[in-house]
């Protein structure tokens, strides 16, 4: 079970591809459904129109048949009396002979329902069919007589097909010979029309299915492209991330080695020399004491003085690595101490200004701004040639800003834009990790110095209600 869940876990790139694919699938499904509905509706309208046209053609054909037949014997009917049996017999023989196609024929019923002419179904002749119903329960003969009594008209119904003996749909046209009380008509079976309509509907369904197939193939291709591009982008981003990680790791190692080298140099050049002097003074005092020389105490005093200097140097190195005042009193006092020591060490006139924060910086922001100030002052000491430095720290409605300004030779902006200089790059990365902004302004070609502004957002300030440390001292 755990293996299955681990298999279902998706990477960030796969989740991104899935999020991109779901709207695509939904959109394609909606488009496919809309296309299907619209296609079926349009096809149904066209099929209905086709069916109407075909049936209209059939009706016109039937009407023409009856009209031609009536014209053929109208001279007989027109000159005969209502009870002229010979005329009726002659007209019946003419109608009995008028058959066409495999199933076409004329029929005659009197108004009482007795069949007089039915050449395709002779068993119906001279029998009364009033009240007869077809397989659908429709009284076909009675309805045809009713239509004839009204003049003429069409009727769609089911009737046994003479060629097969099976029921089929047909359309019948019937007219009246009112003086003889006859209903004369003919019909045509429309199974060919129904077959054409059914074939058209089947063709529509086939086209809809084909459209669905095309849409599915296009969707699948789009999904493959989405996932493929997502995998390519993910692979590319991963390669870039790995490369950046390697560069960052190397820079971390370089920074560590640089810091170790600086501490080693300070220990060797400062503490080590001082401790050697202490050892020499103590050894000299021991020899003098063994010889009974009266000035042995002077060597001890010198050793004690050197040891005090070494202790002070150790504290300075420790403070540079991690100033205790930053944790105990906050960023403001720590920067004040840093500025005072910088001025004392370099003899560069330095001013420090700050205001009390209503909100306090979080730990990461304090460390980052302190290191930025430390790096900036180091660069000023080594490269700027400045005679005056101003350090300003204050909070505002957008966060907090540390501004360091000097009147030195300035920074080559083109090199800064290319990212040259580990110190400036370290400042930039520290601020970016806090979602802040670092601005470096140095007028080109003018000896107006450099202004470094590091701003951290308001999210890096703790609310006033947050409790301070147990020493209850206000912190920036």
Q: Using the predicted structure, report yes or no on whether residue 119 has a pLDDT greater than 80.
A: yes
> What top-level class would CATH report for the domain 323-462?
alpha beta
* Position with higher pLDDT, 198 vs 469: 198
The partner residues of 159 in beta bridges, in order of sequence, read: 168
Pair of tokens at residue 468: 């301070």
Q: What is the pLDDT of residue 146?
A: 93
Q: How far apart are CA 375 and CA 404, in angstroms?
A: 11
Question: What dotted CATH number matches 83-189?
Answer: 3.30.450.20
Q: What is the pLDDT of residue 59?
A: 81
CA torsion through residues 315, 421, 400, 390, sign: positive
Mean pLDDT of 8-36: 72
CA-wise closest residue to 326 among 368, 384, 357: 368
Q: How far apart are CA 195 and CA 29, in angstroms?
A: 33
Pair of tokens at residue 312: 């002070």
Q: Which residue carries 């002749």 as its tokens?
A: 125
Q: What is the pLDDT of residue 181?
A: 92
* Contact by Cβ (8 Å): 369, 455: no
* Position with higher pLDDT, 52 vs 423: 52
Pair of tokens at residue 207: 């086209």
Q: Using the predicted structure, report yes or no on whether residue 60 has a pLDDT greater than 70.
A: yes
Q: Which residue carries 């007989």 as its tokens?
A: 76
Q: What is the pLDDT of residue 242?
A: 81
Mean pLDDT of 391-402: 82
Nearby residues of 321 by Cβ (< 8 Å), 6 or more positions away: 263
- Taking only the tens place, the pLDDT of each residue in 120-132 is 888 899 999 999 9
State the Rg of the chain over Cα: 55
Mean pLDDT of 397-426: 70
- Taking only the tens place, the pLDDT of each residue in 145-162 is 999 999 889 998 898 888
Pair of tokens at residue 191: 């199974």
Q: What is the pLDDT of residue 399?
A: 79
Return the percentage of the chain with pLDDT > 90, whole number: 8
- Taking only the tens place, the pLDDT of each residue in 236-247 is 877 888 887 777
Mean pLDDT of 159-185: 89
Return the percentage of the chain with pLDDT > 70, whole number: 79
- Taking only the tens place, the pLDDT of each residue in 431-468 is 888 788 888 887 654 557 888 888 888 766 665 555 44
Mean pLDDT of 56-73: 79
Name the residue ranges covered by the structural domains of the chain: 83-189, 323-462
Q: Using the predicted structure, report yes or no on whether residue 390 has a pLDDT greater than 80.
A: yes
Q: Percentages helix, strand, coil for the chain, rounded to the nearest 5?
A: 60, 15, 20
CA-wise closest residue to 394 among 353, 430, 434, 427: 353
Please state which of the ranges 59-73, 164-178, 308-322 shows the lowest mean pLDDT.
Answer: 308-322
End-to-end Cα distance, the chain: 52
Q: What is the pLDDT of residue 5?
A: 45
Q: Using the predicted structure, report yes or no on whether residue 144 has a pLDDT greater than 90.
A: yes
User: How many other C-beta atoms are found inside a 10 Å radius of the C-beta of residue 174?
Assistant: 27
- Burial track 193-214 (b if 16+ CB lie within 10 A, e otherwise): beeebeebeeebeeebeeeeee
Query: Angle at Cα 286 formed by Cα 285 and Cα 291, nearest 5°?
Result: 95
Q: Which residue carries 């979080």 as its tokens?
A: 362
Q: What is the pLDDT of residue 469?
A: 44
User: How many other C-beta atoms are found inside a 10 Å radius of the C-beta of residue 411?
Assistant: 21
Q: What is the pLDDT of residue 419?
A: 44
pTM of the model: 0.45
Q: For 303, what's the count of Cα atoms within 13 Å in the CB-facing half-sphere?
A: 15
Q: How far apart are CA 129 and CA 119, in angstroms?
A: 16
* Position with higher pLDDT, 342 vs 253: 342
Q: Quick one: DSSP state of residue 128?
A: B
* Position with higher pLDDT, 8 vs 458: 458
Sheet containing strand 450-457, edge to edge, reads: 349-354, 388-396, 399-406, 450-457, 437-441
Q: Quick one: DSSP state of residue 440?
A: E
Pair of tokens at residue 55: 């049936």
Please state which of the ranges 132-146, 155-169, 183-197, 319-333 shows the lowest mean pLDDT.
Answer: 319-333
């Amino acid at each position: 079970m755990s293996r299955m869940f681990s298999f279902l876990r998706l990477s960030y790139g796969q989740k991104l591809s899935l999020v991109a694919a779901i709207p695509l699938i939904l959109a394609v499904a909606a488009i496919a459904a809309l296309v299907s509905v619209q296609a079926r509706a349009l096809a149904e309208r066209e099929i209905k129109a086709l069916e109407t046209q075909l049936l209209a053609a059939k009706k016109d054909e039937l009407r023409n048949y009856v009209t031609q037949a009536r014209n053929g014997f109208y001279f007989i009917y027109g000159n005969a009396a209502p009870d002229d049996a010979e005329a009726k017999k002659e007209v019946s023989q003419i109608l009995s002979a008028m058959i066409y196609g495999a199933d076409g024929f004329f029929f005659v019923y009197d108004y009482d329902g007795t069949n007089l002419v039915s050449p395709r179904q002779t068993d119906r002749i001279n029998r009364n069919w009033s009240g007869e119903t077809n397989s659908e329960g429709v009284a076909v003969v009675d309805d045809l007589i009713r239509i004839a009594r009204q003049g003429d008209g069409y009727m769609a119904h089911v009737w046994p097909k003479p060629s097969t003996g099976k029921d089929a749909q047909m359309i019948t046209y019937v007219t009246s010979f009112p003086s003889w009380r006859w209903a004369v008509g003919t019909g045509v079976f429309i199974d060919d029309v129904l077959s054409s309509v059914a074939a058209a509907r089947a063709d529509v369904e086939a086209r809809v299915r084909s459209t669905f197939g095309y849409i599915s193939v296009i969707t699948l291709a789009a999904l493959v492209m989405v996932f493929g591009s997502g995998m390519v982008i993910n692979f590319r981003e991963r390669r870039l991330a790995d490369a950046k990680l390697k560069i960052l790791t190397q820079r971390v190692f370089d920074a560590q080695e640089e810091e170790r080298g600086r501490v080693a140099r300070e220990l060797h050049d400062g503490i080590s020399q001082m401790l050697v002097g202490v050892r020499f003074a103590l050894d000299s005092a021991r020899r003098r004491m063994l010889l009974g020389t009266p000035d042995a105490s002077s060597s001890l005093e010198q050793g004690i003085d050197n040891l005090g200097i070494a202790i002070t140097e150790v504290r300075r190195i420790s403070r540079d690595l991690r100033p205790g005042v930053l944790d105990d009193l906050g960023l403001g006092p720590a920067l004040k101490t840093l500025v005072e020591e910088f001025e004392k060490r370099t003899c560069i006139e330095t001013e420090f200004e700050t205001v009390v924060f209503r909100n306090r910086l979080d730990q990461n922001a304090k460390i980052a701004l302190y290191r930025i100030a430390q790096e900036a002052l180091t660069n000023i000491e080594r490269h700027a040639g400045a005679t005056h430095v101003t350090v300003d720290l204050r909070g505002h409605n957008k966060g907090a800003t540390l501004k360091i300004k000097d009147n030195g030779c300035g920074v080559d902006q083109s090199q800064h834009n290319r990212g040259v200089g580990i110190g400036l790059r370290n400042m930039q990365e520290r601020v970016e990790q806090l979602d802040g902004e670092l601005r470096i302004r140095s007028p080109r070609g003018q000896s107006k110095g450099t202004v470094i502004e590091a701003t951290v957002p308001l999210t890096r300030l703790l609310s006033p209600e947050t409790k301070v440390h147990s020493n209850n001292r206000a912190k920036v």
